[in-house]
Chain A
Amino acid sequence: MSSSNITSFYRQEKKTTKRKNDGGGGAIAKLCSKLGSDLAPLLVSSTDQLRSTKESSKEAEERLREFDMDMRYGPSMGLTRIERWDRASALGLCPPADVESLLLTVPTISHCLWHGRV
């Protein structure tokens, strides 16, 4: 957490996600059913190989981290980002719609930024 370099931070987070099979596997399956099976290999392989999506992934990840850190929608640890968005929406807190579209369209990390680190 001491490093403010987004790239190295992002890379660490990716390695952790690969190792964790339990929650990550379930969330990937969830995303697959939403996006279609052709995107499944994208999620599993490293996004570094697809340079065109790298920039947008970084922006998406930053936006999602802002969503994680926003205290209005409750704690972010212990549930996937989509679950947290759904919960916030069910409570009538009107979470930002662009976060929802990011979570559903762009391949992203399913858990919050603290996942696996705390």
Chain B
Amino acid sequence: MADSEMGEATLERKLAVYRNLDGNFVIQEEKYKGQQFSHIYFMRLHHMRSQLQSLIPEWKPHLPVNSILGLEEGKECIIIGTLYKHMKLKPSILDEYSKERSAIPLVKPHNFMSTDDHLILEDESGRVKLAGPMLAPSAFVTGIVIAVHGKETKEGDFFVEDFLEAGLAPQVDRPLDSREDKYVAFVSGLSVGSSAFNPLQFQLLVDHVTGHLGDENEQRISSQIVRLVIAGNSMHISHGFFSGQTVAPKDHAKLTEPIRELDIFLTQLVAALPVDIMPGCNDPANYSLPQQPLHRCLFAGASAYNTFVSCTNPHQFELDNFKFVGTSGQNIDDLYKYSDAKDKVEFMERTLRWRHLAPTAPNTLGCYPYVDKDPFLIECCPHVYFVGNQEKYETRLLQGPDKQLIRLISIPRFCETGVAVMLNLRNLECHALTFSTNL
């Protein structure tokens, strides 16, 4: 809202039509009856197999599709199954019980890859080890469903000659170019309450987004921000409180201080524009994916506004008919631990090509044991895919073979970098907003 001495009209914030699509990720009627994770893998294999089967006639129509148990030695065929990557460095709970206690490194490496890793393909009938130079284990992780073409060797392995990933899902047509600029702002890793948190830096962001900062030109840019998405790790609660001991009454204030401080900032934000807040790995939400929305009682001030939306992680929504999908970073961080890529955006691209947001769930990433669905399957390609809590700001515009166009955004941790990201809905262009309090 401009308050100009020249008496010009006040600026009005632009609006965009919002549709929350988190229904798939909210735990509603699911009841835990002691089931295990085999059902998620079954649903994933069933769904992805039907998609791959529709793509095989265009890929290699002359080859038969076999089940793994039906493999015959020397016969060329295609098999479809879930990949399992055997990694000897992957920490296993059974290591504690093994008789030979080999030298377990005290310092946990951030990445568990080794040159001995090999891939195994599994379906309902059996599993087979994949051999050959076509599939480099460093680019794959457990949990992806692919089709492989090759033949069984006499050692009992399957020699891979070619492989097929599902590829980018079909995308709904992008809305026609509108003439006006509308921005969506993304920020993550605020970590209110941690020692790295700089309140002045965050206040600068809040003031800029709400339009309290700068001259008329800046305020005009701020009035074009239609939504702010906070992608996880908004607060940081001191780890001393996680020891399991009851918190002494004198420490109660310290426990809730970060949450109350965050609420004060959020109230300023929601009074000015719609805000989506997602939980992250450090937030008071459940550990396993999909993380459920942060409870309204945490935000006594902000939840009074209808512009405050508490979302799940992963989060899905539509803004002016653009489809957005994003996470707070756990899916990409887990890929980073078990595979290799040149940058985080490449991991994001891979998850889109595999049509699965978090393929390592439930193997190494905590996940709810669904019985009748796998909610992380990507049926429809989004227009914008964002991931929070990364080291640096990176972005790429991905083009698919079927005219798909996706903007990939890696949002850096704000407490470390002071960088927020702005996306222009008119042309899907992205730029960084850097806030610094260094003089």
| Min distance, Cβ A61 to any Cβ of chain B, angstroms | 22
With A79-B371, A87-B372, A90-B372 as given contacts, are A74 and B35 in contact (CB-CB < 8 Å)? no
Contacts of A23 in B (CB 8 A): 33-34
In this complex, how many residues of chain B approach chain A with their Cβ under 8 Å: the count is 14
- How far is A23 from B34 in the complex, measured between Cα atoms in Å? 9
Chain B, range 356-388, C-beta contacts under 8 Å to A:
369, 371-372
**In whole Å, how far is B311's beta carbon from the nearest beta carbon of chain A?**
28
User: Do residues B42 and A74 form an inter-chain contact, with CB atoms below 8 A?
Assistant: yes
**Complex: how many Å from CA A77 to CA B37?**
10
Q: Does A96 contact B (CB under 8 A)?
A: no
Within 8 A of B (CB), among A48-103: 71-72, 74-75, 77-79, 83, 87, 90-91
**Are A74 and B33 within 8 A (Cβ)?**
no
Among B36, B43, B46: residue with most chain A CB under 10 A: B46
A22 within 8 A of B: yes
Q: Which residues of A contact B36 (CB under 8 A)?
A: 75, 77-78
Complex CA distance for A90 and B36, rounded to whole angstroms: 20
Please state if A77 and B33 are interface contacts (CB–CB under 8 Å): no
Most chain B beta carbons < 10 A, residue from A75, A77, A91:
A75
Is B434 among interface residues, defined by CB-CB distance under 8 A? no
Residue of B nearest to A78 (CB): B35
Given contacts A87-B371, A87-B372, A90-B372, contact A22 B33 (CB under 8 A): yes
Give chain A residues whose Cβ lies under 8 Å from the Cβ of B372. Answer: 87, 90
CA distance A91 to B39 in the complex (A): 13
Does B125 touch A at the CB level, under 8 Å?
A: yes
> With A and B bound together, what is the CA distance between A104 and B5 in angstroms?
78
B300 → chain A closest CB, angstroms: 38
B33→A79 contact, CB < 8 A: yes
With contacts A83-B371, A87-B371 taken as known, whether A75 is within 8 angstroms of B33 at the C-beta atoms is no
Inter-chain contacts of A77 with B (CB < 8 A) = 35-36, 38
Q: Is B124 an interface residue (CB 8 A)?
A: yes
Q: Which of B34, B43, B46, B125 contacts A78 (CB 8 A)?
A: B34
Whether B124 contacts A78 by the Cβ 8 Å rule is: no
Residues of chain B lying within 8 A (CB to CB) of residue A87: 371-372
Contact with A along B20-44 (1 / 0, CB 8 A): 0000000000000111101100110
Given the known interface contacts A87-B372, A90-B372, the answer about A74 and B34 at a Cβ–Cβ threshold of 8 Å is no
Measured CA separation A58–B372 after assembly (Å): 29
A interface size (C-beta, 8 A): 13
> A22 — nearest CB in chain B belongs to which residue?
B33
CB nearest neighbor in A for B46: A91
Q: Is the CB of A75 within 8 A of B46?
A: no
Contacts of A91 in B (CB 8 A): 46
Name the B residues within 8 Å of A74 (CB-CB).
38-39, 42-43, 46, 124
Of all chain B residues, the one with the shortest Cβ separation from A93 is: B46
Measured between alpha carbons, how far is A83 from B35 in the docked complex, in Å?
13
User: Which residues of B lie under 8 Å from residue A90 when comparing CB positions?
Assistant: 372
B124 surroundings in chain A (CB, below 8 A) = 71-72, 74
- B residues less than 8 Å from A72 (CB atoms): 124
> Which B residue's beta carbon lies closest to that of A72?
B124
B35 / chain A contacts, CB cutoff of 8 Å: 77-79
Q: Within the complex, what minimum Cβ distance (angstroms) separates A50 from chain B?
A: 29
Rounded to whole angstroms, the CA-CA distance of A75 and B34 in the bound complex is 14
Q: Which residues in window 105-128 of B have CB below 8 A to A? A: 124-125
CB distance from A27 to the nearest CB of B (A): 10
**CA of A99 to CA of B335 in the docked complex: distance in angstroms?**
42
A108 to chain B, nearest CB (A): 18
The answer on a CB contact under 8 Å between B125 and A71 is yes
**What mask results when residues 152 to 189 of chain B are scored 1 for a CB within 8 Å of chain A, else 0?**
00000000000000000000000000000000000000
Question: 10 shortest A-B CB distances, which residue pairs?
Answer: A78-B35, A74-B42, A75-B38, A71-B124, A87-B372, A79-B371, A23-B33, A78-B36, A75-B39, A75-B42
A-to-B contact residues, CB < 8 Å: 22-23, 71-72, 74-75, 77-79, 83, 87, 90-91
Additional 10 contacts, C-beta under 8 A, given A74-B39, A75-B39: A23-B34, A71-B125, A74-B124, A77-B35, A77-B36, A78-B39, A79-B35, A87-B371, A87-B372, A91-B46
15 A/B residue pairs, CB under 8 Å, sorted by A: A71-B124, A74-B38, A74-B39, A74-B124, A75-B36, A75-B42, A77-B35, A78-B36, A78-B38, A78-B369, A78-B371, A79-B371, A83-B371, A90-B372, A91-B46
